[in-house]
Every structure is written in structure tokens, then in C-alpha cells.
Amino acid sequence: MNTSIPPFGLGTFRLKDQVVIDSVRNALDVGYRAVDTAQIYGNEAEVGQAIADSGVPRAELFLTTKVWTDHFARGTLVPSLKDSLRKLRTEQVDLTLIHWPSPGNAVPMAEYLGALAEAQDRGLTRLIGVSNFTVALLREAIGILGAERIATNQVELSPYLQNRTLAAFMRDQGVHLTSYMTLAYGRVLGDPVLQAIAQAHGASTAQVALAWALQQGYAVIPSSTRRENLAANLQAQQLRLSEDEMARIATLERGERQANPASLAPAWD
């Protein structure tokens, strides 16, 4: 099941209105076939519109959304996902994630993962998973659902935040990892180590950072509003880094986290 998640997709965090419509349209036009959105992004309807207008058959696309923390209660998760489906103009998404663990454990994990499993059983989503889960939270989730039912854990991971403890645990459990903010909000683009590797390959630093994640078996979902960057990012899949280059990037770890909202963040590993 885990292998069915595409290695490369389009992220839409912080993209709204016409900006997200253009980004999705351009991405699909240059060859993307996976799109990642979320209820809290406030752009599901625009993503749905862009997909509908693209002419790309729904069957060719892998569509991910994430359930917001306000909708975790057993009676509200499924209705909220149905609302997302309506906005996205589809009868089923390919993957639905729990966006963050319930703040302060306000809704017990067994309740919201149970509701998510019910959504899958009802055919509203093909796969289910989690996002921003630590080792401890993921261990609890595996106890509830079983590792084989958790299609991915989507977490922040970049050359500056390599998340090795969590990544090793997930590899051991057979849970797939999806990296978001792989470029650390553009902070890695000026890194001299990445620049030197990029120069050696005639590539961009963004391509090197994305290739580094892909080469470790992670999925990536970078976003961009520029067509040329969307196309260039996609080409990272063709870039192969040497063992020495991977080792040099490993030295860039600095525990630098971009997504760390005080009201939501768990006790990170």
C-alpha cells in the first residue's frame, strides 16, 4: 500500500485564490500528477477548480487533503471530509491525513483515527495517514491502526532538519515518509555545500535538496508559483547524487525547524 504514494507532488500551503489556481494549472501542464492540499489552507475549492479545468482525467491524479484539528470528533470528521470532497469536485481523495495531533489531546487519538478509518471504509479516501507525528505519537497510532494502514507520516524534513530519529523509526516500522518544506522555505537555496554540488551537476540547489530527499526514499511536495521553477523542481527526479555528495549534505543538519506553531506542535524528537 505504501508504495502507491507518488514520490513527487505539488504542495499548495499558503497559496490562495488565483495564485493557487495558476500554480496547480501550470504544475499539471508541466507533468505533475499529485497535488497536496488541506482543509486549513482554505484553497480546496480552487484546487478542485484548477483540476477540473485542466482536462487531466481524475484517474491520473493523486489528490491529498488533511483534516483540521477542529474536525477530529467522531461526529464531525467524516462530514468535514465530505465537504472537502465537494470543494475538490471528486467522490474520493487518494489520501487523507490527520494534519496535526490533537492539541492537548483534546480528542483522543483512538477517536480521530477511528473516524479516519471509517472514512476509508466508506470509500471517501483510498488511503489514510498522519502528519506532524513524532515517534511516540506514531507508535500510538500504529497500536491503534496497525503500521500497514498508515500510508505515510508527512513531516518537515530538509537538509537543515533531517529528522533522523523519526526517519529511522519509520523505516523500521515500514511507514513511508513524506517530506514537506524540503527547501526549508528557501533557506537552503543559498547553502554553499548545496551550491557546489549543484554546480558540479549543472543543476539548481533546489534540485539537489529535492534529489537528496528522493534518494532516501521520501516523497516530496514542493510548491512554487512560477512555471519555470515547477518544471525545474520536477527534474530533480532525474538527478543522482554520489555517496560522497549525500554524506556532505548529511553534515548540514542543524535542527532548524520552520513549522513549529506553539498551539499545535508536539514534543518533537
Q: Is 41 assigned a catalytic role?
A: yes
Q: Is 125 exposed, middle or buried (0-12, 13-18, 19+ CB in 10 A)?
A: buried
Q: In the numeric block, which cell numbers belong to residue 267?
A: 514534543
Assess contact for 129 and 95: CB atoms under 8 A.
yes
Torsion angle defined by CA atoms of residues 25, 31, 34 and 37, in that order, rounded to the nearest 10 degrees: -30
> Distance between the two ends of the chain, CA-based, in angstroms?
26
Query: CA-to-CA distance for 258 and 157, rounded, in angstroms?
Result: 10
Q: Which of 41, 112, 160, 180 is catalytic?
A: 41
What are the φ and ψ backbone dihedral angles of 123, each rounded to 5 degrees? Answer: 80, 15
Is 176 labelled a binding residue?
Answer: no
Catalytic residue numbers read: 41
Binding residues for substrate: 99
Binding residues: 99
